[in-house]
Structure 1
Amino acid sequence: MTAQTVEYIRYRVPEERSAEFLAAYARAATPLAASPQCVDYELARCEEEPDHYILRITWTSAEDHLQGFRMSEHFPPFLAEIRPYVSAIEEMRHYRPTDVRGTGSAVPTLYDWAGGAEAFSGLTEVFYGKVLKDDVLAPVFAGLAPEHAEHVALWLAEVFGGPQAYSATQGGHSHMVAKHFGKNITEAQRRRWVNLIQDAADEAGLPTDAEFRAAFLAYIEWGTRLAVYFSGPNAERPTEQPVPKWNWGAAPPYQG
């Protein structure tokens, strides 16, 4: 999969045209959002100099923007709305995101929202207590190492934004998935895993608000489906990758 690219378009629009400019972009957003090449977009207005605007559009790639969107049926209606403001453009460039990124403390991580290290240790303690008594999953975890539950607690804590303790002591994503090689996990076992960890989250007292549980379950679904693949006969060892980072409404970190 080609890396995503971010297009920035800087406008200078006089105050007397601001209302019509915003209205035009509100209409242009309809064909833009309908484009399969568009990931997301945002039009921001400068607080210090209100005649300055920046439109940010994330495209699946620069080529997809230039050869896909601009050649599609979505482009003419988009252009028709913003054409009167083309002369107001001061910059229009594509940028490739770097590895320097993150979130600030204004938004708590899923790790902090859940209750930190103690919450994840409690979760895995309850969960593996259930697993070892479960007819469907017990065979998968026969001979479970005593430290396994705590290692999984470290993994989940790091995935959801906590300390990088798993990376420091165990390794990255490829180390975790390698533990599933040859286990031939079935779909029935995967689903039981998903159900039991949700039950364990309830018993361990993890937050029950919809936003947290949706993000939590999204990772569990993603992670368990990868586990099934890597446990199967056709699995290929992944390239070295860091522990994935999951956040509120985040998309899978490894795509293609």
Structure 2
Amino acid sequence: MTVHTAEYIRYRIPEDRSAEFLAAYTRAAPYLAASPHCVDYELSRCEEDFEHYILRITWTSTEDHLEGFRTSDLFPAFFAEIGPYVENIDEMRHYRPTAVHGPGSAVPSLYDWAGGAEAFSRLTDAFYARVVKDDRLAPLFEGLAPEHAEHVALWLAEVFGGPKTYSATQGGHGHMVAKHLGRHITEPQRRRWVNLIQDAADEAGLPTDAEFRSAFLAYVEWGTRLALYFSGPDAKPPAEQPVPKWNWGAAPPYQG
């Protein structure tokens, strides 16, 4: 998994210079955005003391910032805009994330938004009822174990932010991948899988808002394309990994 570096620059800008400071960074921002080493950036102003600003720039790495952006053709134009405010910097350091992180409750997980465990059970019941009748997919699932739909419901629930029941009872990502090794899935079969689970989502009453369905479909596309690859003759099982976590508009990086 790629770990980026966050650079924090803390400014103290006198009130009478705040407008010109913001204007300078507005002009400088396109040079940041154009750098292949810049992931994102944000300039924030303190609500309690308007003279304090924090600029956060996420870099692909500290080295990419110092040896990439600062030596690039973009840096002189960027620095020409913000150079007059270097004397106002209180701190300029790079930070890497620690293991202490996690989502809050202000934004519901995809699992909660979908309706929890019951929604994913309805989804897989509706889906596999279609699968066993489908001329393209039925051969792949011949001899389907009675508990298969339940296990997939637990998998999807965990992927979308629900309880880690699949991990506790079945295993991690490697366990799911192993079920596809040597299955020789075809692209038409993968595409039919994608279409049928969307139909099943409608039948199961999963939310139809664009934000949820785009995240739902993004995982379905991601997951089925991995399944297609790992079912092929030249695929090698990946290292053991945890169940991927999916969120609103975000995809976890895959590491083989």
Report the TM-score range of the alignment, normalised by the length of the smaller protein.
over 0.9
Does residue 104 (structure 1) correspond to residue 104 (structure 2)? The answer is yes
**Identity over the aligned pairs, expressed in percent?**
80
**1 CA distance for matches of 2:38 and 2:251?**
15
One-letter amino acid matched to 2:5: T
Q: How far did residue 227 of structure 1 move?
A: 0.8
**2 CA distance for matches of 1:175 and 1:7?**
38
TM-score by length of 2: 0.96
**Partner SS, residue 44 of structure 2:** strand
**Partner SS, residue 36 of structure 1:** coil
- Would the aligned equivalents of 1:38 and 1:57 in 2 still touch at CA under 8 Å? yes
Deviations 1:85-118 (A, max 9, x none): 1111111111111222111111011111111111
Corresponding position of 2:240:
240
Corresponding position of 1:12:
12
Range 68-77 or range 218-227, more displaced: 68-77
Does residue 73 (structure 1) correspond to residue 79 (structure 2)? The answer is no
One-letter amino acid matched to 2:6: V
**2 CA distance for matches of 1:205 and 1:109?**
17
Corresponding position of 1:180:
180
**1 CA distance for matches of 2:30 and 2:119?**
43
One-letter amino acid matched to 2:8: Y
| RMSD (CA atoms) | 1.4
Range 18-27 or range 206-215, more displaced: 18-27
**1 CA distance for matches of 2:231 and 2:149?**
19
Residue correspondences, number: 256
Does residue 30 (structure 1) correspond to residue 22 (structure 2)? The answer is no
**Partner SS, residue 105 of structure 1:** coil
Q: How far did residue 2 of structure 1 move?
A: 5.0
Corresponding position of 1:205:
205
CA distance 1:169–1:2, shift in 2 (3 Å): closer
One-letter amino acid matched to 2:183: K
Does residue 55 (structure 1) correspond to residue 55 (structure 2)? The answer is yes
One-letter amino acid matched to 1:236: K
**1 CA distance for matches of 2:202 and 2:178?**
29
**1 CA distance for matches of 2:69 and 2:141?**
49
TM-score by length of 1: 0.96
- Would the aligned equivalents of 1:180 and 1:227 in 2 still touch at CA under 8 Å? yes
CA distance 1:2–1:113, shift in 2 (3 Å): closer
Corresponding position of 2:214:
214
Deviations 1:122-153 (A, max 9, x none): 00100111111111111111111111111111
Any stretches of 5+ residues in structure 1 without a counterpart?
Answer: none
Any stretches of 5+ residues in structure 2 without a counterpart?
Answer: none
**1 CA distance for matches of 2:70 and 2:90?**
20
4+ aligned runs moved over 6 Å, structure 1: none
Q: How far did residue 216 of structure 1 move?
A: 0.7
**2 CA distance for matches of 1:64 and 1:137?**
47
